[in-house]
Structure 1
Amino acid sequence: MAGLRGGACADPAWDPAIDGIVTTYSTALQRIAALAPKAKVFVDGWPLYVRDGGCPALVGLRPEDAAVVQRAFDRLNSVVARAATEYGATYTDTRTPSAGDDMCAPEGVRWFDPLVATETLLPYHPTSTGMRGVADIVVVAVRASGFEG
């Protein structure tokens, strides 16, 4: 990890790569609309990955690097939200309601495993608690929309 060696963890290619995802989302949403024009489509974003200041001992990133990583996820959420809105899908924010559940949270609460993964055995991946948390947020959004399925 560059962040632990003193170099910047940000890659200048991140922003264009993230912005480029809009094409994939737009194509998928157009295809869904073509195949199922009456479908009500919901798109969710990424939860809070790592809080302000991070937790260097647990995550393995300096606070400034943790902020760079979170900004990348926030940018991804913005790109996905724009594409969803443009194509008539409902974007569901999972970042705001997941505050306090990021990878710095205690085991059993956190939605992502830290550097030393205890649940997924894959560092930085969603935990079952996180997957359940996102699903619960999406279900609330679907119900709030009046969708009956």
Structure 2
Amino acid sequence: MVERTARATWNGTLPRGNGSLSLGSGAFEGPYDFRSRFEDGAETNPEELVGAAHAGCFSMALAAELDRAGYDPEAVETAATVHLEEGDDGWTITRSHLDTEVAVADVEDEEFQAIAETAKENCPVSRALGGVEKTLDAALR
């Protein structure tokens, strides 16, 4: 079993407070606040980090699925857009949209789309986001 850690600190009330997020590996530490999460602030936010996790996980899963199918991907570039919406019962991550471009030789688009869909459904972060709609636009370079 592999375990990874992260840490968050929050100071003050929700609308006027601020905090910091850090990864256990030390690869990232950054501030966050109300504006960066619910408005248009400059700092990071939890949803942005979920998006980075989903994009990274999916990219690795897609490379693995392509390799398993006999293809040798040169590059997988994925952007994730995480949707945070306010509903009657509070704020919820409702969707994570993946937009990926892949450089890989000799694969037909129909097969590529099926492989990409499999990667989207089976990467560990997609599984962790079980109640969240996951959508994908996949293109070959």
TM-score range, shorter chain: 0.3 to 0.5
Calculate the TM-score normalised by the size of structure 1.
0.33
Calculate the TM-score normalised by the size of structure 2.
0.34
User: Greater RCO between the two (CA within 8 Å, min separation 6)?
Assistant: 1
More helix by share: 1
